[in-house]
Structure 1
Amino acid sequence: MPPPPPSWFPFRQANPQARLRLFCFPYAGGGASIYNTWSAALPPTVELVSVQPPGRERRILEKPVHDIARLVEALEPEMRPLLDKPFVLMGYSMGTRIALALTQRWQARGEPLPLGLVVAAGGAPHMQRMSRGNLNDKDFIELLRAYEGTPAELFAHKELMEMVLPTLRADFALADSVLPATPVRVPIVAYGGLEDSHVSIADLERWRELTTGEFRARHFAGKHFFLRTERVPLLEALREDLTRWAPELAS
């Protein structure tokens, strides 16, 4: 028998009682598993759908995608059957680009939009930035060290690092994507780390330019990966934002 098709949502647990679906997109090098424990901290009527791009975790043997338009085109048909309920998109770092690209695409076609966007640890993607795609392997690995998000044991194993470098490079290409400065008719809340040397508070604030709706910024202690060090306050904020956009979740 042919192998089953790759799953974009390998950890999804269908919730017939759900009033809202929360789609979560990972950071560069991350996979769907980073959101595995979040469901317990969210309202029981929220169905968490963590997204697994190619080239990582259960999709490690697949070729990663460098181009955000191609990624969105492949992902969108998989998401469509799950857009039959109100939904919110949440992206972390690289994932913020995916969330906005999908929303801009749907808005341009006059399709239903998310109730809100949660963008965390990502600078506003309509701002031009220096591409990191031309870095040699040595400099690229030093860049990974500076982010302090890659497990230390990975740097110690040359063969393992060589295996994951293509996915990491593809993810950084996605993270460096510059998207249109087209505002979306969706409220945006931007989460940032006060000690994040890669995304300043000023960079975070420029997400304000990408919505015609409400904009809020939330600041957390910690560096770029504050989703690990500030998990409890982050999830409390997320629960509050979801309930603000969908008050029925509180009942």
Structure 2
Amino acid sequence: MSEQWFWTRRPRPAASSRVVCLPYAGGAAAAYRAWGDLAPGHVEVCPVELPGRGVRMGEEPYRRLTPLVRALADALEPLLDRPYTLFGHSMGGLLAFELTRLLRRRGRPEPTHLFVSASPAPGRPLEPTVHDATDAELTARLRSFNGTPPEVLDDEELMALALPIIRADFAVLETYEFVAEPPLDIPLTVFGGIYDRAVKPADLAGWRDHATTVRFRMLPVGHFFVDELAPELVRLVTAGVSPVCDPAR
């Protein structure tokens, strides 16, 4: 059933298109809580809730990308009745990319535009790997992203709930094996943070190999900017992107 994957979605029956939003590692659909109010009336925002978080906290999270993307594609099927775009931040960017490729292989409608945000280009090794590290090492990795409040990282009870989900998401990322396919024949826009210490411009440049039309836009932020820049991101995602900035040039 798709309802559990999109339980925070607020249907707009008259909307002419949808934006499907995929979360970062450890994130939930709540990361896009403001997007529905910010989007124009003709756009329906559909945040994805992955197993293990939100109302799905009692479900086992996925630890591998392939079965997760297959489940996402199945859940998305009822929403393919009108044009849509995909937006994914960090881990969500990789999920959005592989979801698009799977839909293409299945012969299903592809998004009209793919947006990936603070997400390394596929095929780049992720080092160091932390999904099998100790809790202390994993927490230190999260601290280095500078996106989780210190009081949360220092709260043992909160972290005891969060770390299993974060560990599973890192396993999805770190066990992923890229398989080459022809570039996507849809527009791909890549957002990056100029001050992002986790995903640097060089990590983004490889996206140009994965679609026939690729645009880059660098923003004056760090890694976690989905909430911070929600109004601008919603505007760009729903109305197209300009100007263009290529981090490799």
Instruction: Give % identity.
Output: 36
2:229 aligned with 1:225, yes or no? Answer: no
1:193-232 paired onto structure 2 within 5 Å? 193-212=193-212, 214-232=213-231
Q: Could you tell me how far apart the structure 2 residues matched to 1:218 and 1:171 are? A: 26
C-alpha contact 2:2 2:76 (8 A) present in aligned 1: no
Structure 2 counterpart of 1:185: 185
**Counterpart of 2:18 in 1: which secondary structure?**
strand
Q: Distance between the aligned counterparts of 2:206 and 2:119, measured in 1? A: 10
Q: Return the match for 1:69 from 66, 69, 72.
A: 66
Aligned to 2:142: 144
Q: Do residues 44 (structure 1) and 36 (structure 2) align?
A: no
Q: Deviations over 1:176-224 (max 9, x none)?
A: 3243232222210000000001111122121111112x11001111100
1:169 corresponds to: 167
Among 13, 24, 32, the residue aligned to 2:21: 24
The AA in structure 2 aligned to 1:184 is L
Q: Distance in 2 between matches of 1:175 and 1:240?
A: 30
Post-superposition shift, 1:53? 0.2
Task: Tell me the secondary structure at the aligned position of residue 205 of structure 1.
Answer: helix
| Ranges in structure 2 where 5+ consecutive residues have no aligned partner | 243-249
| Structure 1, 226-235 or 158-167: larger mean CA deviation | 226-235
Which residue type is aligned with residue 54 of structure 1?
A: P
Q: 2:146 corresponds to which letter in structure 1?
A: E
**Residue 249 of structure 1 aligns with which residue?**
none
Q: Specify every segment of 5 or more residues in structure 1 that has no aligned partner in the other structure, as ranges.
A: 244-251
Q: 2:88 is matched with which residue?
A: 91
Give, as a single letter, the amino acid of the residue that structure 2 aligns with 1:232. Answer: P
Q: Tell which deviates more after alignment, 54-63 or 189-198.
A: 54-63
Q: State whether structure 2 residue 75 is matched by structure 1 residue 78.
A: yes
Moved more, 88-97 or 123-132: 123-132
The Cα shift of 1:156 comes to: 2.6
RMSD (Å) for aligned C-alpha atoms: 2.0
Q: Give the Cα separation in 2 of the matches to 1:159 and 1:41.
A: 34
Contact 1:35/1:50 (8 A) holds in 2: yes
- Give the superposition deviation at 1:6: 6.8
Cα distance in 1 between the residues matched to 2:177 and 2:228: 29
Residues 65-107 of structure 1, C-alpha deviations (whole Å, 9 max, x = no match): 1111111122222210110101111100010111111111122
The one-letter amino acid paired with 1:134 is D
TM-score w.r.t. structure 1 length? 0.88
1:153 CA displacement: 3.0
| 1:110 CA drift (Å) | 2.6
Q: TM-score, normalised by structure 2?
A: 0.89
Count the aligned residue pairs: 239
Q: Which amino acid letter does the alignment assign opposite residue 148 of structure 1?
A: N
- Work out the CA distance in 2 between the residues paired with 1:21 and 1:51: 12
1:14-65 C-alpha deviation (Å, 9 max, x unpaired):
1111111110000111100111111232221111000000111211111111
Distance 1:22 1:109 in 2: 20
Counterpart secondary structure, 2:63: coil
Task: Verify: 1:241 aligned to 2:223, yes or no.
Answer: no
Deviations 1:102-153 (A, max 9, x none): 1111222332211010000101122233332232211111001111222333
Which residue number corresponds to residue 34 of structure 1? 31
